[in-house]
Copies of this chain bind each other. A is one copy, B any other.
Amino acid sequence: MQAEVTRFPLPDPGDVSGLKSAIDHREIDPLSIKAVIGKTHGNGLVNDYTRGYLAQSLAYLIAGATGETPEAVRARIPFIFSGGVEGLLSPHYTVFTASDGDGAAGPALAIGVAFTPDLRPEDIGRERQMALTAAAVADAMRSARIESPSDVDFVQVKGPAFTLADIAASTSRGGKVLTDNPAKLMGFGRAGSALGVARALGEAVTAEEDVLRDFAKFSSVASCSAGVEIRCNEVVVLGTSRSWSGPLGIAHAPLADALDVSGVHTALAALGMTANPQLGARDAARIRAAFVKCEASRDGLVRGKPHTMLNDGDIDQQRHIRAAVGAIVASVLGDTALFVSGGAEHQGPDGGGLVAIIAERT
């Protein structure tokens, strides 16, 4: 198999003309699409509907091209969108396809996807979410023929978020939901999903009571988000496999804290690139996609100096940290169409995060 990774600009969450044109011109076979990951215009919080809007737009576009129903498209292709293009970030979506390889020697970038069954509010941050996510990660690895956890570079999980009405309905049915605060439940969901990834990859022995408590347990490749537009956990595993060929490679590195620009340089080095201090134009053109996970440190400090992100009643902490860490990574890559997601509970070291980069190898 051979993976291809194509980024399209997103002028509006309902404007998928970029992919439409690529399909119309037969540059992309819609049946070969394995996943779409993107960054949309909303706030990335509970009341962000730009994720659902893009998903609906893509589902109708692809269904129209393949003859599938929109529902069938959504059951086959994970659409994983993170809202919030704060600061310099540019709205875009990245289409992952897999096609028959050209016979060139691997190993190369490998892609696998899987879905859990639907989750209810009372499953969020609980063993059921963790176990089902771990099983889905294992499924996705198998389907991608990634042989070892050490060959996994990035696991993107998108799980459900629930509004107050959803939570109330669940509670009235007798469900025990971990919190009645919709934003906080999103955090439990990210955390539970991340610990599920860590379990699948053998990074940590995880149990329900670790969720949002034992931050020494984390996955160094998980990136988890949540949105009201889906009901199950969708899982995309990216890594390296000898069963895949083609020009693309992937690397990742942890971010020790929000200022850890060296993590970006480490990931680039693994792909044979050097930024000094910024990637030159030729290397920049080799970048196919970059993924960043970050969070506002819970102790309120960055290198000993206070930040104010957790005290702010006007701008959510996630919007602050995405603007900041997104800009740092962009300043190294010279590129603003990055997937940057906040809320890094159990995703990378506490107070830090991770970066993964897909690039054409030389």
Contact = CB atoms under 8 A, between A and B. Distances in A.
Nearest to A328: B331
A49 B53 contact: yes
A310 B41 CA distance: 12
A319 B92 CA distance: 22
Interface residues of A, number: 79
B261 A91 contact: no
Contact of A327 (B47, B181, B305, B327): B327
Contact of A323 (B14, B53, B275, B320): B320
Contacts of A32: none
The copy count of this chain in the complex is: 4
Interface stretch (A131-139, A231-239, A294-302): A294-302
Contacts of A194: none
B259 A321 contact: no
Interface of A: 9, 11-14, 41-50, 52-53, 56-57, 60, 85-92, 163-165, 168, 180-183, 228-229, 258-259, 261-262, 265, 275, 277-278, 298-300, 302-303, 305-316, 319-321, 323-328, 330-332, 334-337
The 8 closest A-B pairs by CB, nearest first: A45-B313, A87-B324, A324-B327, A323-B323, A53-B53, A90-B305, A164-B300, A261-B331
